[in-house]
């Protein structure tokens, strides 16, 4: 099972920072996952969302008070500060902060220490760590809201990503996955490149660029056959894999039958993110039964797991292997 460090080791450091990525690599992650958004001067930077106030100190910087906007993104009204309204030089003034401080208060110790990294920054870190460790480390890249950015800001994320990968000397022969919740974006990437592609799927709704399609239909056997025409894997919410008692719903088997790998998201150690049967002690921030969750995924034959805690997942996989 591939260990995909979700936004880095974001259970230990503020997400999408070089510190979180480096910690994930040191903990043994196979891939580091980064979400990309674009600046007004067409730089690709790593943030979970194009709205910046949830993960940076932008709201406290007087110079940027006037940049606050109301926008409708993928049908949802949002208020805040958006990456596409800033240049890269302006974003470099920001510092990252913990996104869920109520559950991860220890991570707030690292607030305001780290800049927003570019894709190039992350690749340079990855190559330095490869040289240090002697092992290959993969990139797992998600394009965030590409249809919105193309329609509303004239920013083509597909063009920018392929441009930057080419400039950085990254090819389809390298360990790279490109992922998106949107269908058209992946189809364009499939036409223009040979990178491995992953169709992300949520428990509810459907792709923002295909309002008549629902993820539930895409996850049916016939839907998965269509996905396999342009993608190499599906990335479903883990809740789509199990019934209430942890009984498999057959998605992994159906995906494999269609020739697709399954990379499930997101395994987090805290009780707040685990099924009731796997919670331990009291409090949402307490550490639950990570080994139990990994065992459920392994039993189904899941090919990869996104996790905020790659060290714990690696340890759990080692325990499972030793018990066989």
256 in catalytic set = no
Q: d(Cα 149, Cα 151) in Å, to the nearest integer?
A: 6
Q: d(Cα 134, Cα 22) in Å, to the nearest integer?
A: 15
Task: Annotate 43-108 with DSSP letters as a single string.
Answer: -EEE-SSSB-TTTBSGGG-GGGGGG-EEEEETTEEEEE-BGGGS-HHHHTT--B--S-TTT-GGGG
Q: Which residues of 266-289 are buried (b: 16+ CB within 10 A; e: fewer)?
A: bbbbbbbbbbeebbeeeeebebbb
6 in catalytic set = yes
Q: d(Cα 158, Cα 195) in Å, to the nearest integer?
A: 12
Catalytic-labelled residue, pool 6, 16, 145, 263: 6
Q: d(Cα 195, Cα 178) in Å, to the nearest integer?
A: 7
Torsion sign across C-alpha atoms 176, 182, 183, 184 = negative
Which residues have C-beta within 8 Å of that of residue 19, sequence separation ≥ 6?
8, 13, 110, 113, 114
- Active site (catalytic) residues: 6, 48
């Amino acid at each position: 099972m591939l260990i995909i460090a979700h936004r880095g080791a974001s259970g230990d450091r503020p997400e999408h920072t070089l510190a979180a990525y480096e910690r994930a690599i040191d903990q043994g992650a196979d891939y580091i996952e980064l979400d990309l958004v674009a600046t007004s001067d067409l730089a690709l930077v790593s943030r979970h969302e194009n709205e910046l106030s949830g993960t940076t100190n932008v709201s406290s910087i007087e110079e940027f008070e006037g940049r606050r906007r109301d926008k409708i993104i993928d049908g949802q009204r949002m208020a805040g500060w958006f990456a596409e309204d800033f240049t890269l030089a302006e974003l470099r003034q920001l510092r990252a902060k913990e996104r869920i401080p109520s559950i991860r208060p220890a991570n707030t110790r690292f607030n305001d220490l780290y800049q927003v990294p570019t894709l190039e920054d992350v690749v340079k870190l990855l190559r330095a760590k490869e040289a240090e460790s002697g092992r290959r480390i993969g990139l797992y890249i998600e394009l965030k809201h590409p249809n919105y950015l193309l329609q509303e800001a004239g920013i083509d994320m597909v063009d920018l990503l392929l441009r930057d990968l080419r400039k950085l000397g990254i090819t389809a022969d390298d360990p790279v996955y490109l992922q998106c919740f949107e269908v058209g974006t992946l189809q364009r990437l499939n036409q223009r490149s040979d990178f491995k592609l992953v169709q992300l799927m949520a428990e509810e709704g459907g792709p923002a660029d295909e309002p008549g399609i629902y993820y539930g239909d895409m996850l049916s056997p016939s839907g998965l056959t269509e996905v396999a025409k342009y993608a190499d894997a599906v990335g479903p919410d883990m809740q789509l894999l199990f019934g209430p008692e942890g009984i498999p719903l057959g998605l992994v088997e159906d995906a494999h039958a269609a020739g697709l790998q399954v990379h499930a998201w997101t395994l987090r150690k805290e009780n707040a993110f685990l099924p009731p049967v796997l919670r331990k002690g009291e409090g949402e921030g307490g550490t639950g039964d990570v080994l139990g969750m990994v065992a459920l995924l392994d039993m189904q034959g899941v090919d990869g797991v996104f996790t905020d805690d790659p060290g714990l997942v690696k340890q759990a996989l080692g325990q499972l292997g030793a018990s066989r």
